[in-house]
Amino acid sequence: MVKVVAFSGMLSNKQKFNPDFYNWNRIKVRYCDGASFTGDVEAVNPANNLHFRGARVFQAVMEDLMAKGMKNAQNAVLSGCSAGGLTSILHCDNFRALFPVGTKVKCFADAGYFINAKDVSGASHIEQFYAQVVATHGSAKHLPASCTSRLSPGLCFFPQYMARQITTPLFIINAAYDSWQIKNILAPGVADPHGTWHSCKLDINNCSPTQLQTMQSFRTQFLNALAGLGISSSRGMFIDACYAHCQTEMQETWLRTDSPVLGKMSIAKAVGDWYYDRSPFQKIDCAYPCNPTCHNRVFDSNVHSEV
């Protein structure tokens, strides 16, 4: 785990780069839990000393922060990217419940709207994987009962099945062609034994017309899964047409002269306007490659991690 974390993007303390949140108290919570802070298993494996207690960690961190003064906040945000984005969805209402009724509390989920889609071989790889995560971590008791009463706990780890019940205002920031989801949900290594997708996953410019067509189909599935949120004026949405993963904590995608825009608006402006009730924002980009402002990820083939 890196010793130093760059506070950039929505964590920046410079007004120019983060006009709406630069003067906030900003806390980065370290994550090494593996189940978006939902784990809660009493037993410890004596062979490897692994603890699956992410839910307890989350509670302990929040209690510590509240005691340090967070309980006096007038404004509060729970946010995160990737697994942290999923955390900010799963724990959004729990976070809200920590504060008095008069506190303005909202949640931002960056690249955390993972969807339940079949992979290129037709297998339900991510559905099985999430079921195993939830079982290993004993997560069921920390997933919304409104979902687990209807569906298996593994499915309730997917926002499309549980996020509609969230009552706290929630903003979803996600690429429709989320690079992690393309690499690990749509075309994981296990579904691509001959490495046909390897070059495409490293750089979208390398994708064949057939692969792009498959990715367009994935975008359609992603947008259908987003419909699981339901219609609500308290929801915000910035869904761009980029091949990217996590866009709020990097300055170049949060707010810079060349950062991605949707409806002529940067992520920083859209989120800030929504948080402070200046104007709502619910926009979905046109299909790739329509947005010339995108920062499409190019990965190093030597550090190509997959689930």
Catalytic residues: 82, 178, 245
Q: Kindly provide the residue ranges of all beta strands, DSSP E only, lying in 191-294, ordered along the sequence.
A: 235-240, 261-262, 265-266, 282-284
Determine phi and psi for 24, rounding to 5 degrees.
Answer: -80, 160
Tell me which residue of 186, 197, 193 sits closest to 245, measured CA to CA: 186
Contacts of 5 (CB under 8 A, 6+ apart): 28
* Burial tier of 84 (Cβ tally within 10 Å: 0-12, 13-18, 19+): buried
* Residue whose tokens read 């784990």: 39
* Residue whose tokens read 């994981």: 188
Determine phi and psi for 88, rounding to 5 degrees.
Answer: -70, -20
Count other Cβ atoms within 10 Å, centred on residue 249. 23
Q: Is the torsion defined by CA of 98, 63, 55, 116 positive or negative? A: positive
To which H or E segment does residue 254 belong? helix 251-254
